[in-house]
Structure 1
Amino acid sequence: MTVLHLRGPALPGGEVLDLWTDGDRWTTDPVAGAELIEGWLLPGLVDAHTHPGAEQPGDPLDENVLRGDLEAHVDNGVTLIRSPGLAAEPPEWFGQDPALPRAVHAGPWIAQLGQFFDGWGRRADHDELPGIAAAQAARTGWAKIIADWQYGDPHVPEDVLRQIVERVHAVGGRVAVHSQRPGGGTAAVHAGVDSVEHGMGLDPGLLPEMAARGIAFTPTLSVLQDTMPRALAQPDSPSRRERIRSVGAHPALVAAAVEAGVTVLAGTDTRPMGGIAVEIRALLAAGVPAHDALAAGSWSARAYLGLAGLEPGAPADAVVYASDPRTDMAMLDHPRAVILRGVRVR
Structure 2
Amino acid sequence: MVAVLRIRGFALPEGEPVDLYADGDRWTSDPVAGAELVAEGWILPGLVDAHTHPGAETPGQPLDVAVLREDLRAHLDSGVTLIRAPGLAGDPPEWFGQADESPRAVHAGPWIAQHGQFMEGWGRRPELTDLPAVAAEQAARTGWAKVVIDWRPDDDVVPVGVLREAVTRVHAVGGRLAVHSQHAAGGMAAVEAGVDSVEHGMGLNPDLLPRMAEQGIALTPTLSVITASLAAITADPERARSSWYVPGASAHARLTAAAVEAGVTVLAGTDSRPHGGIAHEIRALVAAGVSPHEALAAASWTARSYLGLPGLVDGAPADAVVFDVDPRTDLSQLDKPRAVIVRGKAIR
TM-score, normalised via structure 2 length: 0.97
* Equivalent position SS for 2:273: coil
Q: Does 1:260 align with 2:275?
A: no
Please name the residue that 1:50 is paired with.
52
Q: Could you report, residue by residue, the CA deviation over 1:206-246 in whole angstroms, capped at 9, with x for unpaired residues?
A: 00110001100000000001101332227458861x31111
Give 3-state SS (helix, strand or coil) of 2:21's partner. Answer: strand
* Equivalence for 1:147: 149
Q: Match of 2:192?
A: 190
Q: Which one-letter code corresponds to 1:220 in the other structure?
A: T
Partner of 1:208: 210
- Describe the SS at the equivalent of 1:230: helix
Equivalent-residue separation in structure 2 for 1:234 and 1:120 (angstroms): 32
Mapping 1:67-82, distance limit 5 Å = 67-82=69-84
2:87 corresponds in structure 1 to 85
2-structure distance, mates of 1:231, 1:200? 16
Decide which of 239, 242, 245 is 1:243's aligned counterpart. 245
1:224-239 alignment runs, 5 A limit: 224-232=226-234, 233=236, 235-236=238-239
2:9 maps to amino acid:
G
For residue 311 of structure 1, the aligned residue among 300, 313, 316 is 313
Alignment correspondent of 1:4: 5
Encode CA deviations 1:284-322: one digit per residue, 9 max, x unaligned: 110001100000000000000000010000000000000
- Alignment partner of 2:125 out of 123, 126, 132: 123
The answer to whether the 8 A contact 2:240-2:246 is kept is: no
Contact preservation (8 Å) 2:42, 2:322: yes
Q: 1:110 is paired with a residue of what secondary structure? A: coil
Where has structure 1 moved over 6 Å in runs of 4 or more? none
The equivalent residue for 2:21 is 20
Deviations 1:160-187 (A, max 9, x none): 1101101111111000000000000110
| CA distance in 2: counterparts of 1:234 and 1:107, whole angstroms | 38
> How far 1:33 sits from its partner (Å)?
2.0
Distance 1:12 1:109, change over 3 A: same
Paired amino acid for 1:129? L
Counting aligned pairs with the same residue, the percent is: 67
Give 2:169's aligned residue. Answer: 167
Deviation at 1:152, TM superposition (A): 1.0
Letter in 1 for 2:110: P
User: Does the 8 Å contact 2:233/2:240 carry over to 1?
Assistant: no
Structure 2 spans left out of the alignment, 5+ residues: none
Q: For structure 1, which runs of at least 5 residues remain unmatched after alignment?
A: none
Structure 1 residue identity aligned to 2:43? L
Is the CA contact 1:146–1:179 (under 8 Å) kept in the aligned structure 2? yes
Distance 2:240 2:133 in 1: 37
Confirm or deny: 8 A CA contact 2:147 2:179 kept in the other structure. yes
In 2, the alpha carbon distance for the partners of 1:95 and 1:72 equals 14
Name the counterpart of 2:110: 108
The CA deviation at 1:203 is 0.4
How far residue 99 of structure 1 moved from its aligned partner, in angstroms, is 3.0
Say which SS state the counterpart of residue 123 (structure 1) adopts. Answer: coil
For residues 169 and 315 of structure 1, do their structure 2 counterparts lie closer, same or farther at Cα, with a shift above 3 Å needed?
A: same
Q: Kindly tell me: are residues 85 and 296 of structure 1, through their superposed partners in 2, closer, same or farther at Cα, counting changes over 3 Å?
A: same
Range moving further from structure 2, 2-11 or 263-272: 2-11
Pair 1:234–1:271, CA change in 2 (3 A): farther
Q: CA deviation at 1:273?
A: 0.2
Deviations 1:90-149 (A, max 9, x none): 111111112310000000000011111111000122101001000000000000000100
8 Å Cα contact 1:165/1:191 also seen in 2: yes
1:332 equivalent in alignment to 2:337: no
- SS of 1:39's partner is strand
1:98 matches 2:100: yes
**Superposition TM-score, scaled by structure 1 size:** 0.98
